[in-house]
Structure 1
Amino acid sequence: MDVSILFATRNRAAQLERTLDCYRALDTQGLDWELLIVDNGSTDATAEVIERARQDLPITYLHADGVGQNRARNVAMDRLSGDLVIFTDDDVLPEPDCVRAYIEAARRWPDDVIFGARIEPSFPADTPVWMTTPDFEFATTAFARYQPADREGPVGRHPYGPSFAVRRAAFEGMRFNEQLGPQTGSYAMGGEGDFLRRLAARGYRYIYVPQARVAHVVRAEQTNIDWLLSRAYKKGRGQVYLPSSKKAPKLYWGGVPLKLWLGTLRSWLFFQLYRCLPYAPERACVERGIIYQFRLGQVHELRARQAGVTHNDQD
């Protein structure tokens, strides 16, 4: 089989219907492909939407016990048949030529195994303008904007969760870390990044494929300031699990480097200052809050690790 496409879904029946309409419009002429959808405990009309779509799409419908995006993905890992596997989400709308662009790029780069699509957030109409601009750096974390280069080729930044492709032979036996990524309650981000970094550690490069284009649907609540700050906190938690080339700190308190404690305090003070200024721009205040919440998430996770607390115990 040429291509397997895999995503998990949970209680997003209306969005799933829209997403599957895009799959009906894919240019798959002459391709042998499959679409694996893992239901991560939905209680809405998800099953009905999928059953209708199976009439005209090559869907394999699977179920995961327990909540967790990476747990759902792992359910499908031994069921994949495609030489190239596209990992995506249920709120990602591929352009009609997206799959073919991945395949053609894989042919142009025969010695490489990891490919990332161009991801453009699709914002609600009333989103603040500053939040939608490419120079809002946190958009990469908040909305998965991924445009690391102007042309196709190797890049230093790993692809993002809404759409990346990997040659199946390269990840035989690998699994996603089920303690990372979306699940019930608060969680540490970084499930896809962890998976791709482990692949890259085997000597593989990241190949950016701008011709493979997808839109990542941003929900209204995701443009809320509190949601952005929560996202930064989760990002900080996940950051603890990434490898670092920096020297290990010498001074710790409560399992946390003293430098991080001081940085967290300093960022909190700046955040509070901007919140009190009567004419402070909203963006400036939010960006200070993001820095503070990111560092606070790191502190939280490091202290929990020292206490031997698991992710699920914390949530």
Structure 2
Amino acid sequence: MPFPVHILLPTHQRYELLTRCLDSLLQVREELAELTIHVIENGSEGAGALVQTYADRLPVTYRQIAEGNKSKALNAVVEELPDAAFLIFFDDDIKVEPGTIRRHREAAERYGPGHYFGGALRADYEIPPPRELLPYFPPSCRDFDLSEGKAYREFDGFRGFLGPNWSCFRSDLHRVGNFSPLYGPGAVGGARGQEWEAQSRLAAAGVTPVFVGGSWARHWVPRRAISRQWVVDRIYHGSILRGKENPSLAHSLVMLAKLAYSALLFPLQLDSVGHPYRINKAVGYFRGMVDRYLAP
């Protein structure tokens, strides 16, 4: 391998899920040669003892960051790695499937710096979701695959890949300022999308997105996420990013129209998922605009 490979695995008080993730890595040990797994606990304590039980079976290290902010935790480790490093990002709530790490490494060797890479997710539901909720789930809670059957699929301009399964070169990420602490779990205001925000800066800097076929993981969707209230809350926090980073007059008018439409009809259709979803999507977007233009 012409460059060092590092898997970054942030975690926060999810020890059963972290165990599930590390167990899945045990099943692909042949893909772990000459790399290091960094378990980065942020805002909690307790994963260190768990990680130690894998130390003789996995090339794993443990780092604890006191502040509960995923972006800051990732940045702390990224800053310590060599500029030539290739970084693979997993979340603690996935099961890594065979071939995934190998395919990321093959993509890195094929394309080199100046590219970032995404893989597929398949939803692993704790309970079967009601059919009426499925259209409102975020992409991470549905099956996600942009390969179109291709081994590699390049995109022109920005293309967002999902945070639980993507990769890039440390040199490219560091050049655009690493992850923004204003987004992701632990961010003030609860804005989501720290990976997409970082990927948008990568694309703006000329880094090409490439989707890697055959690289996929199973993403745990817990019972609490399979509810109307959760999808409504999630779209609110997810829409803050769009309003803060990429507002436009046309999109603002569309959001206003949807807000007015659903605000009028929701009292007459209280069982609806779509109306509170659209209301919260618009409110989150405009909250992001307020943060962009009015926040100190």
Report the TM-score range of the alignment, normalised by the length of the smaller protein. 0.7 to 0.9
Residue 273 of structure 2: aligned partner: 286
Residue 39 of structure 2: aligned partner: 37
The offset of 1:8, in angstroms, is 1.1
The offset of 1:193, in angstroms, is 0.8
Say whether residues 1:102 and 2:97 are aligned partners.
Answer: no
Q: Residue 69 of structure 2 aligns to which amino acid in structure 1?
A: G
Residue 153 of structure 1: aligned partner: 153
For the Cα contact (< 8 Å) 1:146–1:159, is it kept in 2?
Answer: no
In structure 1, how many angstroms separate the alpha carbons of the residues matched to 2:197 and 2:75?
14
Residue 125 of structure 2: aligned partner: 123
**Residue by residue, what CA displacement relative to the aligned partner does 1:213-232 show, whole Å, maximum 9, x if unpaired?**
11111111011211110001
Say whether residues 1:209 and 2:212 are aligned partners.
Answer: yes
**Residue by residue, what CA displacement relative to the aligned partner does 1:208-261 show, whole Å, maximum 9, x if unpaired?**
1121111111111011211110001101212112335x4x47xxxxxxx67744
Q: Residue 69 of structure 1 aligns to which amino acid in structure 2?
A: K
TM-score w.r.t. length of structure 2 = 0.87
Q: Residue 54 of structure 1 aligns to which amino acid in structure 2?
A: A
Q: Residue 154 of structure 1 aligns to which amino acid in structure 2?
A: E
The offset of 1:69, in angstroms, is 1.0
Residue 60 of structure 1: aligned partner: 61
For the Cα contact (< 8 Å) 2:242–2:288, is it kept in 1?
Answer: no
The offset of 1:301, in angstroms, is 3.1
- Select the residue among 11, 18, 24 that pairs with 2:13: 11
For the Cα contact (< 8 Å) 1:121–1:218, is it kept in 2?
Answer: yes
In structure 1, how many angstroms separate the alpha carbons of the residues matched to 2:19 and 2:279?
38
The offset of 1:49, in angstroms, is 0.9
The offset of 1:146, in angstroms, is 2.5
In structure 1, how many angstroms separate the alpha carbons of the residues matched to 2:181 and 2:233?
20
SS at 2:273 equivalent = helix
Instruction: Name stretches of at least 5 consecutive residues in structure 2 with no aligned partner.
Output: none
Say whether residues 1:273 and 2:275 are aligned partners.
Answer: no
Q: Residue 287 of structure 2 aligns to which amino acid in structure 1?
A: H
Count of paired positions: 288
Q: Residue 192 of structure 1 aligns to which amino acid in structure 2?
A: E
Q: Residue 193 of structure 2 aligns to which amino acid in structure 1?
A: G
In structure 2, how many angstroms separate the alpha carbons of the residues matched to 1:47 and 1:75?
17
**Residue by residue, what CA displacement relative to the aligned partner does 1:13-60 show, whole Å, maximum 9, x if unpaired?**
1111111001111243583100111111224x4222112122221122
Q: Residue 55 of structure 2 aligns to which amino acid in structure 1?
A: R
